[in-house]
Structure 1
Amino acid sequence: MIRPDISARRIGAEGQPIAIVDGFHPDPDALRAAALAAAFAPGRHHYPGIRAPLPGDYFAQVRAGLVPVLRNVFGHGSGVELLDASFSIVTTPPEALAVEQRLPHVDAVQPGRIALVHYLSPGDGTAFFRHRATGFETIDAGRSAAYLAALNAELRADPPAAAYPFGDTRLFERIAQVDAGYNRAVIYRSALLHSGAIAQDAALASDPATGRLTVTAFLSAS
Protein backbone atom coordinates (compact mmCIF):
# COMPACT_ATOMS: atom_id res chain seq x y z
CA MET A 1 0.00 0.00 0.00
CA ILE A 2 1.22 3.51 -0.83
CA ARG A 3 1.47 5.57 2.34
CA PRO A 4 -0.11 9.04 2.46
CA ASP A 5 2.28 11.97 1.94
CA ILE A 6 1.81 14.36 4.86
CA SER A 7 3.10 17.94 5.00
CA ALA A 8 2.31 20.72 7.45
CA ARG A 9 2.85 24.44 7.71
CA ARG A 10 1.83 27.38 9.86
CA ILE A 11 -0.14 30.24 8.37
CA GLY A 12 -0.79 33.89 9.12
CA ALA A 13 0.29 36.05 12.01
CA GLU A 14 -1.21 33.60 14.50
CA GLY A 15 0.86 30.71 13.14
CA GLN A 16 -1.98 28.23 13.14
CA PRO A 17 -1.05 24.79 11.75
CA ILE A 18 -2.66 23.23 8.72
CA ALA A 19 -1.88 19.81 7.25
CA ILE A 20 -1.98 18.72 3.62
CA VAL A 21 -2.19 15.00 2.91
CA ASP A 22 -1.73 13.68 -0.63
CA GLY A 23 -2.82 10.11 -1.31
CA PHE A 24 -5.33 10.45 1.55
CA HIS A 25 -7.58 7.54 0.52
CA PRO A 26 -6.13 4.21 -0.70
CA ASP A 27 -8.74 3.86 -3.51
CA PRO A 28 -10.02 7.29 -4.56
CA ASP A 29 -11.49 5.96 -7.81
CA ALA A 30 -13.76 3.62 -5.86
CA LEU A 31 -14.71 6.51 -3.58
CA ARG A 32 -15.63 8.65 -6.60
CA ALA A 33 -17.70 5.77 -7.96
CA ALA A 34 -19.58 5.65 -4.65
CA ALA A 35 -20.27 9.39 -4.96
CA LEU A 36 -21.61 8.95 -8.49
CA ALA A 37 -24.11 6.39 -7.14
CA ALA A 38 -25.04 8.39 -4.03
CA ALA A 39 -28.30 10.26 -3.44
CA PHE A 40 -27.51 13.96 -2.96
CA ALA A 41 -29.81 16.41 -1.16
CA PRO A 42 -29.59 20.10 -0.18
CA GLY A 43 -26.93 20.75 2.46
CA ARG A 44 -27.64 21.98 5.97
CA HIS A 45 -26.01 24.68 8.13
CA HIS A 46 -25.67 27.26 5.33
CA TYR A 47 -23.70 24.91 3.06
CA PRO A 48 -24.04 26.36 -0.48
CA GLY A 49 -24.72 23.12 -2.26
CA ILE A 50 -25.67 19.46 -1.94
CA ARG A 51 -24.48 16.56 0.20
CA ALA A 52 -24.72 12.76 0.32
CA PRO A 53 -23.77 10.02 2.80
CA LEU A 54 -20.28 8.51 2.73
CA PRO A 55 -19.47 4.79 2.52
CA GLY A 56 -19.49 3.28 5.98
CA ASP A 57 -15.78 2.35 5.86
CA TYR A 58 -14.53 5.82 4.86
CA PHE A 59 -12.76 6.66 8.11
CA ALA A 60 -11.23 3.23 8.47
CA GLN A 61 -9.78 3.71 4.99
CA VAL A 62 -8.24 7.15 5.70
CA ARG A 63 -7.03 6.40 9.23
CA ALA A 64 -3.39 6.06 8.08
CA GLY A 65 -3.35 9.68 6.95
CA LEU A 66 -5.58 11.15 9.65
CA VAL A 67 -4.24 9.79 12.95
CA PRO A 68 -0.63 11.02 12.58
CA VAL A 69 -1.90 14.47 11.59
CA LEU A 70 -4.08 14.76 14.68
CA ARG A 71 -1.18 13.62 16.87
CA ASN A 72 1.86 15.30 15.32
CA VAL A 73 0.40 18.47 13.81
CA PHE A 74 -2.39 19.33 16.24
CA GLY A 75 -1.13 17.64 19.41
CA HIS A 76 -4.14 15.42 20.06
CA GLY A 77 -4.13 11.89 21.40
CA SER A 78 -6.14 8.95 20.15
CA GLY A 79 -9.55 10.28 21.20
CA VAL A 80 -11.48 11.30 18.06
CA GLU A 81 -15.25 11.66 17.66
CA LEU A 82 -16.81 12.06 14.24
CA LEU A 83 -19.41 14.85 14.37
CA ASP A 84 -20.46 15.08 10.74
CA ALA A 85 -19.15 13.92 7.35
CA SER A 86 -20.49 13.68 3.82
CA PHE A 87 -19.83 13.95 0.13
CA SER A 88 -20.30 17.63 -0.76
CA ILE A 89 -20.67 19.62 -3.98
CA VAL A 90 -20.84 23.43 -4.12
CA THR A 91 -23.70 24.34 -6.47
CA THR A 92 -25.11 27.74 -5.45
CA PRO A 93 -24.38 30.47 -8.03
CA PRO A 94 -22.79 33.63 -6.61
CA GLU A 95 -25.87 35.77 -7.23
CA ALA A 96 -27.98 33.42 -5.07
CA LEU A 97 -25.65 33.42 -2.03
CA ALA A 98 -27.00 34.59 1.31
CA VAL A 99 -24.91 37.26 3.05
CA GLU A 100 -23.28 34.77 5.43
CA GLN A 101 -22.24 32.60 2.45
CA ARG A 102 -20.33 35.55 0.95
CA LEU A 103 -17.99 35.70 3.96
CA PRO A 104 -15.22 33.52 5.39
CA HIS A 105 -16.55 31.51 8.30
CA VAL A 106 -15.53 29.21 11.14
CA ASP A 107 -17.07 25.80 11.71
CA ALA A 108 -16.84 25.77 15.51
CA VAL A 109 -15.36 27.85 18.34
CA GLN A 110 -14.88 25.00 20.85
CA PRO A 111 -11.36 23.68 21.52
CA GLY A 112 -10.44 20.38 19.91
CA ARG A 113 -12.64 20.81 16.86
CA ILE A 114 -10.96 19.82 13.57
CA ALA A 115 -12.22 20.24 10.00
CA LEU A 116 -11.24 18.19 6.97
CA VAL A 117 -11.78 18.74 3.24
CA HIS A 118 -10.89 15.83 0.94
CA TYR A 119 -10.80 16.81 -2.73
CA LEU A 120 -12.10 14.26 -5.22
CA SER A 121 -12.03 16.45 -8.33
CA PRO A 122 -9.78 19.11 -9.83
CA GLY A 123 -10.75 22.73 -9.37
CA ASP A 124 -11.04 25.12 -6.46
CA GLY A 125 -9.28 24.61 -3.14
CA THR A 126 -9.62 26.21 0.31
CA ALA A 127 -8.60 29.71 1.39
CA PHE A 128 -7.87 31.11 4.87
CA PHE A 129 -8.44 34.70 5.99
CA ARG A 130 -7.74 37.46 8.51
CA HIS A 131 -10.53 39.86 9.53
CA ARG A 132 -9.02 43.27 8.90
CA ALA A 133 -10.86 45.23 11.60
CA THR A 134 -10.02 42.91 14.50
CA GLY A 135 -6.92 41.17 13.13
CA PHE A 136 -8.46 37.82 14.07
CA GLU A 137 -7.55 34.74 12.03
CA THR A 138 -9.25 32.34 14.43
CA ILE A 139 -12.52 32.83 16.29
CA ASP A 140 -12.71 30.99 19.60
CA ALA A 141 -15.30 31.40 22.35
CA GLY A 142 -13.36 34.29 23.89
CA ARG A 143 -13.26 36.24 20.61
CA SER A 144 -16.69 35.42 19.24
CA ALA A 145 -18.67 38.32 20.74
CA ALA A 146 -16.16 41.01 19.75
CA TYR A 147 -15.77 39.57 16.27
CA LEU A 148 -19.49 39.34 15.60
CA ALA A 149 -20.09 42.87 16.91
CA ALA A 150 -17.42 44.30 14.60
CA LEU A 151 -18.51 42.23 11.61
CA ASN A 152 -22.21 43.00 12.01
CA ALA A 153 -21.47 46.73 12.16
CA GLU A 154 -19.51 46.42 8.91
CA LEU A 155 -22.27 44.45 7.23
CA ARG A 156 -24.90 46.99 8.21
CA ALA A 157 -22.80 49.76 6.68
CA ASP A 158 -21.86 47.95 3.46
CA PRO A 159 -22.99 44.37 2.71
CA PRO A 160 -20.55 42.24 0.68
CA ALA A 161 -20.94 41.74 -3.05
CA ALA A 162 -22.59 38.56 -4.32
CA ALA A 163 -19.48 36.39 -4.63
CA TYR A 164 -17.67 33.61 -2.82
CA PRO A 165 -14.68 34.76 -0.70
CA PHE A 166 -11.84 34.07 -3.13
CA GLY A 167 -9.08 36.64 -2.54
CA ASP A 168 -8.65 39.83 -0.54
CA THR A 169 -11.80 41.84 0.13
CA ARG A 170 -12.59 45.09 1.91
CA LEU A 171 -13.28 43.20 5.15
CA PHE A 172 -10.91 40.22 4.92
CA GLU A 173 -7.34 39.53 3.82
CA ARG A 174 -6.48 36.11 2.42
CA ILE A 175 -3.52 34.72 4.37
CA ALA A 176 -3.15 31.30 2.70
CA GLN A 177 -4.64 29.00 0.12
CA VAL A 178 -4.44 25.26 -0.42
CA ASP A 179 -5.02 24.19 -4.01
CA ALA A 180 -7.26 21.24 -4.73
CA GLY A 181 -5.61 18.07 -5.95
CA TYR A 182 -7.14 14.69 -6.66
CA ASN A 183 -7.15 12.64 -3.44
CA ARG A 184 -5.61 15.49 -1.43
CA ALA A 185 -6.97 16.45 2.00
CA VAL A 186 -6.48 19.65 3.95
CA ILE A 187 -6.96 19.45 7.72
CA TYR A 188 -7.21 22.49 10.01
CA ARG A 189 -8.71 23.75 13.26
CA SER A 190 -12.40 24.53 12.85
CA ALA A 191 -11.88 27.96 14.45
CA LEU A 192 -9.82 29.21 11.48
CA LEU A 193 -11.59 31.71 9.21
CA HIS A 194 -11.82 29.98 5.85
CA SER A 195 -13.86 29.43 2.73
CA GLY A 196 -13.92 27.30 -0.36
CA ALA A 197 -11.82 29.23 -2.89
CA ILE A 198 -14.58 29.40 -5.49
CA ALA A 199 -13.79 31.64 -8.44
CA GLN A 200 -16.52 33.99 -9.67
CA ASP A 201 -16.70 32.21 -13.03
CA ALA A 202 -16.51 28.66 -11.63
CA ALA A 203 -18.81 26.10 -13.25
CA LEU A 204 -20.88 24.88 -10.29
CA ALA A 205 -22.28 21.64 -11.68
CA SER A 206 -24.42 19.42 -9.46
CA ASP A 207 -23.30 16.21 -11.18
CA PRO A 208 -20.65 14.49 -9.01
CA ALA A 209 -18.88 13.42 -12.20
CA THR A 210 -18.19 17.04 -13.18
CA GLY A 211 -18.82 19.20 -10.09
CA ARG A 212 -16.57 20.29 -7.21
CA LEU A 213 -16.76 16.95 -5.39
CA THR A 214 -15.26 16.78 -1.91
CA VAL A 215 -15.66 15.00 1.37
CA THR A 216 -16.22 17.45 4.22
CA ALA A 217 -15.88 16.25 7.79
CA PHE A 218 -15.90 17.72 11.29
CA LEU A 219 -14.19 16.01 14.21
CA SER A 220 -13.80 16.50 17.94
CA ALA A 221 -10.30 15.48 19.05
CA SER A 222 -8.79 15.14 22.51
Structure 2
Amino acid sequence: MTGPSLAVLDIGAEREPVAIIDGFAPDPHYLRDYAAGAAFAAGDLYYPGLKAALPADYFSAVQPVIAAAMAEVFGATKGADVLRASYAIVTTPPHLLSIEQRLPHVDSLTPGRMAIVHYLSPDNADGTAFYRHRATGFETLDEARSGAYFSSLNAELSAQGAPAAAYMNGDTAQFERIGHVGARFNRAVIYRGRILHGGAISNGGALSKDPLKGRLTIASFLAAT
Protein backbone atom coordinates (compact mmCIF):
# COMPACT_ATOMS: atom_id res chain seq x y z
CA MET A 1 0.00 0.00 0.00
CA THR A 2 1.35 3.39 -0.97
CA GLY A 3 1.49 6.25 1.51
CA PRO A 4 -0.48 9.49 1.46
CA SER A 5 0.00 11.90 -1.46
CA LEU A 6 -0.52 15.66 -1.22
CA ALA A 7 -1.73 18.08 -3.89
CA VAL A 8 -2.60 21.76 -3.48
CA LEU A 9 -5.19 23.91 -5.24
CA ASP A 10 -5.05 27.71 -5.07
CA ILE A 11 -8.68 28.76 -5.23
CA GLY A 12 -9.98 31.90 -6.92
CA ALA A 13 -8.58 35.39 -7.15
CA GLU A 14 -7.63 35.31 -3.47
CA ARG A 15 -5.50 32.20 -4.10
CA GLU A 16 -6.76 30.48 -0.99
CA PRO A 17 -4.94 27.14 -0.64
CA VAL A 18 -6.80 23.85 -0.38
CA ALA A 19 -4.88 20.67 0.47
CA ILE A 20 -5.98 17.39 -1.12
CA ILE A 21 -4.60 14.21 0.44
CA ASP A 22 -5.19 10.82 -1.13
CA GLY A 23 -4.53 7.76 1.01
CA PHE A 24 -5.32 9.85 4.09
CA ALA A 25 -5.98 7.14 6.69
CA PRO A 26 -3.98 3.92 7.02
CA ASP A 27 -7.10 1.73 7.35
CA PRO A 28 -10.20 3.36 5.80
CA HIS A 29 -12.08 0.04 5.72
CA TYR A 30 -11.87 -0.12 9.51
CA LEU A 31 -13.43 3.36 9.63
CA ARG A 32 -16.32 2.21 7.44
CA ASP A 33 -16.83 -0.91 9.53
CA TYR A 34 -16.87 1.18 12.72
CA ALA A 35 -19.39 3.59 11.17
CA ALA A 36 -21.68 0.68 10.31
CA GLY A 37 -22.17 0.04 14.02
CA ALA A 38 -22.18 3.66 15.19
CA ALA A 39 -25.23 5.43 16.64
CA PHE A 40 -26.11 8.16 14.13
CA ALA A 41 -28.44 11.00 15.14
CA ALA A 42 -29.56 14.34 13.77
CA GLY A 43 -26.68 16.78 13.35
CA ASP A 44 -26.53 20.43 14.29
CA LEU A 45 -28.93 23.06 12.97
CA TYR A 46 -27.01 23.66 9.73
CA TYR A 47 -25.85 20.17 8.75
CA PRO A 48 -28.30 18.41 6.40
CA GLY A 49 -28.00 14.94 7.80
CA LEU A 50 -26.81 12.63 10.55
CA LYS A 51 -23.69 12.50 12.72
CA ALA A 52 -22.00 9.93 14.96
CA ALA A 53 -18.98 9.70 17.24
CA LEU A 54 -15.60 8.61 15.87
CA PRO A 55 -13.39 5.79 17.10
CA ALA A 56 -11.06 7.00 19.83
CA ASP A 57 -7.94 6.23 17.81
CA TYR A 58 -8.90 8.16 14.66
CA PHE A 59 -6.68 11.19 15.18
CA SER A 60 -3.69 9.25 16.44
CA ALA A 61 -3.70 7.41 13.12
CA VAL A 62 -3.98 10.49 10.87
CA GLN A 63 -2.20 13.12 12.99
CA PRO A 64 1.19 12.84 11.23
CA VAL A 65 -0.46 13.40 7.84
CA ILE A 66 -2.46 16.37 9.14
CA ALA A 67 0.59 17.94 10.77
CA ALA A 68 2.67 17.65 7.59
CA ALA A 69 -0.06 19.20 5.41
CA MET A 70 -0.79 21.98 7.91
CA ALA A 71 2.87 22.96 7.99
CA GLU A 72 3.56 22.68 4.26
CA VAL A 73 0.37 24.22 2.88
CA PHE A 74 -0.82 26.60 5.60
CA GLY A 75 2.37 27.43 7.50
CA ALA A 76 0.92 26.07 10.75
CA THR A 77 4.12 24.56 12.10
CA LYS A 78 2.97 24.33 15.74
CA GLY A 79 0.15 21.90 15.07
CA ALA A 80 -3.58 22.22 15.65
CA ASP A 81 -6.12 21.39 18.35
CA VAL A 82 -9.24 19.41 17.44
CA LEU A 83 -12.35 21.42 18.31
CA ARG A 84 -14.93 18.85 17.18
CA ALA A 85 -15.14 15.95 14.78
CA SER A 86 -17.66 13.29 13.81
CA TYR A 87 -18.90 10.97 11.14
CA ALA A 88 -21.41 12.67 8.87
CA ILE A 89 -23.94 11.40 6.32
CA VAL A 90 -25.97 13.76 4.11
CA THR A 91 -29.59 12.57 4.28
CA THR A 92 -31.89 15.61 3.92
CA PRO A 93 -33.92 15.58 0.68
CA PRO A 94 -33.44 18.75 -1.41
CA HIS A 95 -37.03 19.88 -0.93
CA LEU A 96 -36.56 19.93 2.87
CA LEU A 97 -33.41 22.04 2.94
CA SER A 98 -33.47 25.29 4.91
CA ILE A 99 -32.47 28.48 3.10
CA GLU A 100 -29.10 28.42 4.87
CA GLN A 101 -28.47 24.86 3.62
CA ARG A 102 -29.03 25.98 0.02
CA LEU A 103 -26.22 28.56 0.18
CA PRO A 104 -22.43 28.46 0.55
CA HIS A 105 -21.13 29.08 4.04
CA VAL A 106 -17.97 29.60 6.05
CA ASP A 107 -17.13 27.50 9.09
CA SER A 108 -15.62 30.32 11.14
CA LEU A 109 -14.59 33.98 11.00
CA THR A 110 -11.83 33.31 13.54
CA PRO A 111 -8.25 33.29 12.20
CA GLY A 112 -6.52 29.93 12.35
CA ARG A 113 -9.65 27.79 12.15
CA MET A 114 -9.39 24.84 9.77
CA ALA A 115 -11.72 22.18 8.38
CA ILE A 116 -11.09 18.66 7.12
CA VAL A 117 -13.52 16.52 5.14
CA HIS A 118 -12.47 12.86 4.87
CA TYR A 119 -14.43 11.00 2.18
CA LEU A 120 -15.22 7.37 2.98
CA SER A 121 -17.69 6.25 0.30
CA PRO A 122 -16.18 4.19 -2.53
CA ASP A 123 -19.19 4.78 -4.79
CA ASN A 124 -19.95 8.46 -4.13
CA ALA A 125 -18.10 11.26 -5.94
CA ASP A 126 -19.97 14.19 -4.31
CA GLY A 127 -17.11 16.38 -3.10
CA THR A 128 -16.71 19.98 -1.95
CA ALA A 129 -17.14 23.19 -3.96
CA PHE A 130 -15.83 26.71 -3.36
CA TYR A 131 -17.54 29.98 -4.26
CA ARG A 132 -17.18 33.72 -4.89
CA HIS A 133 -20.01 36.05 -3.88
CA ARG A 134 -20.66 38.03 -7.06
CA ALA A 135 -21.91 41.26 -5.49
CA THR A 136 -19.00 41.77 -3.09
CA GLY A 137 -16.35 39.69 -4.83
CA PHE A 138 -15.60 37.97 -1.53
CA GLU A 139 -14.26 34.42 -1.60
CA THR A 140 -13.37 34.38 2.10
CA LEU A 141 -14.92 36.08 5.11
CA ASP A 142 -13.55 37.54 8.33
CA GLU A 143 -14.92 39.90 10.95
CA ALA A 144 -14.11 42.93 8.78
CA ARG A 145 -15.98 41.58 5.76
CA SER A 146 -18.90 39.79 7.38
CA GLY A 147 -21.13 42.84 7.85
CA ALA A 148 -20.91 43.93 4.21
CA TYR A 149 -21.34 40.36 2.98
CA PHE A 150 -24.45 39.49 4.98
CA SER A 151 -26.01 42.90 4.31
CA SER A 152 -25.53 42.40 0.57
CA LEU A 153 -26.70 38.78 0.59
CA ASN A 154 -29.81 39.54 2.66
CA ALA A 155 -30.71 42.38 0.29
CA GLU A 156 -30.35 40.03 -2.68
CA LEU A 157 -32.52 37.37 -1.10
CA SER A 158 -35.16 39.94 -0.19
CA ALA A 159 -35.25 41.28 -3.75
CA GLN A 160 -34.86 38.01 -5.66
CA GLY A 161 -36.41 35.50 -3.30
CA ALA A 162 -34.93 32.40 -1.70
CA PRO A 163 -32.87 30.05 -3.84
CA ALA A 164 -34.57 26.95 -5.20
CA ALA A 165 -34.93 24.06 -2.77
CA ALA A 166 -31.86 22.15 -3.93
CA TYR A 167 -28.26 21.49 -3.01
CA MET A 168 -26.04 24.16 -4.53
CA ASN A 169 -23.78 22.54 -7.09
CA GLY A 170 -22.70 25.20 -9.58
CA ASP A 171 -23.17 28.87 -10.43
CA THR A 172 -26.19 30.90 -9.31
CA ALA A 173 -27.26 34.51 -9.62
CA GLN A 174 -25.55 35.31 -6.33
CA PHE A 175 -22.52 32.98 -6.41
CA GLU A 176 -19.90 31.76 -8.86
CA ARG A 177 -18.28 28.38 -8.33
CA ILE A 178 -14.51 28.95 -8.40
CA GLY A 179 -13.19 25.53 -7.42
CA HIS A 180 -14.17 21.94 -6.82
CA VAL A 181 -12.62 18.86 -5.24
CA GLY A 182 -14.26 15.59 -6.18
CA ALA A 183 -14.72 12.94 -3.54
CA ARG A 184 -12.60 9.79 -3.71
CA PHE A 185 -12.42 6.93 -1.25
CA ASN A 186 -9.94 7.78 1.54
CA ARG A 187 -9.31 11.28 0.21
CA ALA A 188 -9.27 14.24 2.57
CA VAL A 189 -9.55 17.92 1.77
CA ILE A 190 -8.21 20.55 4.20
CA TYR A 191 -9.07 24.25 3.99
CA ARG A 192 -9.30 27.35 6.14
CA GLY A 193 -12.69 27.81 7.75
CA ARG A 194 -13.01 31.30 6.25
CA ILE A 195 -13.50 30.18 2.63
CA LEU A 196 -17.02 30.14 1.15
CA HIS A 197 -17.85 26.52 0.36
CA GLY A 198 -20.45 23.79 0.43
CA GLY A 199 -20.92 20.11 -0.25
CA ALA A 200 -21.21 19.41 -3.97
CA ILE A 201 -24.21 17.14 -3.50
CA SER A 202 -26.04 15.62 -6.48
CA ASN A 203 -29.70 16.59 -6.34
CA GLY A 204 -30.97 13.55 -8.20
CA GLY A 205 -29.23 10.86 -6.19
CA ALA A 206 -30.50 8.74 -3.34
CA LEU A 207 -29.45 9.97 0.12
CA SER A 208 -29.20 6.76 2.12
CA LYS A 209 -28.98 6.76 5.91
CA ASP A 210 -26.93 3.57 5.78
CA PRO A 211 -23.26 4.42 6.41
CA LEU A 212 -22.21 1.73 3.94
CA LYS A 213 -24.45 3.09 1.19
CA GLY A 214 -24.73 6.84 1.81
CA ARG A 215 -22.30 9.77 1.48
CA LEU A 216 -20.15 8.90 4.49
CA THR A 217 -17.53 11.43 5.54
CA ILE A 218 -15.65 12.48 8.64
CA ALA A 219 -15.88 16.21 9.29
CA SER A 220 -13.27 17.75 11.58
CA PHE A 221 -12.75 21.31 12.77
CA LEU A 222 -9.41 22.42 14.15
CA ALA A 223 -7.70 25.49 15.57
CA ALA A 224 -4.14 26.00 14.37
CA THR A 225 -1.83 26.82 17.27
Q: TM-score range by the shorter chain?
A: over 0.9
1:156 to partner: Cα distance:
1.2
| AA partner of residue 14 (structure 2) | E
**1:153 match:** 155
Aligned counterpart, 2:212 = 209
Q: What is the aligned partner in structure 1 of residue 129 from structure 2?
A: 127
Which secondary structure does the structure 1 equivalent of 2:138 belong to?
A: coil
Any unmatched runs of 5+ in structure 1? none
Aligned residue number for residue 91 of structure 1: 91
Quote the offset at 1:78 in angstroms.
Answer: 2.1
Aligned residue in 2 for 1:100: 100
Q: TM-score, normalised by structure 2?
A: 0.96
The answer to whether residue 178 in structure 2 is matched with residue 175 in structure 1 is yes
RMSD of equivalent CA atoms: 0.9
Corresponding letter in the other structure for 1:159? A
Q: Cα distance, 1:7 vs. partner?
A: 0.9
The size of the alignment, in residue pairs, is 222
Question: Equivalents in 2 of 1:131, 1:93: separation in Å?
Answer: 25
Tell me, which stretches of 5 or more residues in structure 2 are unaligned?
none
Q: What letter corresponds to residue 11 of structure 2 in structure 1?
A: I
Matched with 2:34 is 34
Query: How far apart are residue 136 of structure 1 and its match?
Result: 0.3
Q: Deviations over 1:109-131 (max 9, x none)?
A: 10000000000002300000000
Deviating beyond 4 angstroms after TM superposition, the runs of 4 or more aligned structure 1 residues are: none
Q: What residue number does 1:52 align with?
A: 52
1:4-33 deviations in Å (ceiling 9; x for gaps): 111112110100000000000000000100
| Alignment partners' CA distance in 2, 1:114 and 1:24 | 17
Q: Kindly indicate whether the alpha-carbon contact (under 8 Å) linking 1:2 and 1:26 is maintained by their aligned counterparts in 2.
A: no
| 1:74-113 CA-partner distances (Å, limit 9, x unpaired) | 0112231111100000000110000000000000010000
